[in-house]
Amino acid sequence: MKQYQIAVVVGSLRKESFNRKLASAIAKLAPADFSFRQVGIGDLPLYNQDDDAGPADSVKRLKREIIDSQGLLFVTAEYNRSIPGVLKNAIDHASRPYGQSAWAGKPAGVIGVSVGSTGTSMAQQHLRNVLSYLDVPTLGQPEIFLQAKDGLFDEAGDIGAGSRKFLQNWMDRYVAWVKKHAA
């Protein structure tokens, strides 16, 4: 059976991040031929085009993990109605040098959770704009805008009963999307 390795990019460095928790929980809804690995972005330097010729080891590692994956999952926080700078920094790093982007063609999903009732919708929309430019085919529907509140996760850290059916449907659609577009 062909295996699909998914590179998961969490748009938050916070230790107790709801988005990191969501990334771990939703991965458990995937079928056995999918495996998910969260890629580290907290050790990346600030992107500087002067470094394109000699990228840091963390940048090379990030690009390798993206290139070796068959799909992408972005699970992002919303900061000031956009994506957190740490996520944009990671995206910029792996998009360069010009013509050597690691992102191009990798099928992606975009989800997120915030404490606000708009559930990262603005951040996701900004992220979709960036991914479109980077030639990343991104699942359009269903959209997932989650608010962090009691019951979203159960005591084991899994998706709570109230959201499970909805998120399982998203995962099923995401799996089909990756299979359709993966190289």
Ligand X SMILES: Cc1cc2nc3c(=O)[nH]c(=O)nc-3n(C[C@H](O)[C@H](O)[C@H](O)COP(=O)(O)O)c2cc1C
Q: Which residues sit at the interface with ligand X, rule CB under 6 A?
A: 12, 14, 17-19, 77-81, 114-116, 118
Residue tagged 């699942």 (tokens):
139
Question: Measured from the CB of residue 132, what is the shortest distance to ligand X in angstroms?
Answer: 21
DSSP 36: E
What are the structure tokens assigned to 122, written together? Answer: 């603005």
Q: Tell me if 173 sits within 8 A of 65, measured CB to CB.
A: no
Task: Tell me the closest approach of the beta carbon of residue 49 to ligand X, in angstroms.
Answer: 26
Nearer to ligand X, 16 or 50 (CB): 16
- If the CB atoms of residues 77 and 102 are measured against ligand X, the closer one turns out to be 77
- Supply the minimum distance, in Å, between the C-beta of residue 148 and ligand X: 6
In the complex, minimum distance from the CB of residue 84 to ligand X, in angstroms, rounded to a whole number:
8
**In terms of CB distance, is 44 or 77 closer to ligand X?**
77
CA pseudo-torsion sign 168, 169, 170, 171: positive
CB 104 to ligand X: min, Å: 27
Question: Which tokens belong to 106?
Answer: 């990798």
SS3 content of the chain, % helix, strand, coil (to 5): 35, 20, 45
Which of residues 69 and 124 has its CB atom nearest to ligand X in the complex? 124
C-alpha–C-alpha distance, residues 86 and 2, integer Å: 33
CB-nearer residue toward ligand X: 72 or 75: 75
In the block, residue with structure tokens 């019951």: 151
Rama region for 120: left / alpha / beta (φ>0; ψ in -120 to 50; rest): left
CB of 130 to ligand X, least distance (A): 17
At 110 the three-state DSSP class reads strand
Residue nearest to ligand X (CB): 116
**Cβ closer to ligand X: 47 or 145?**
145
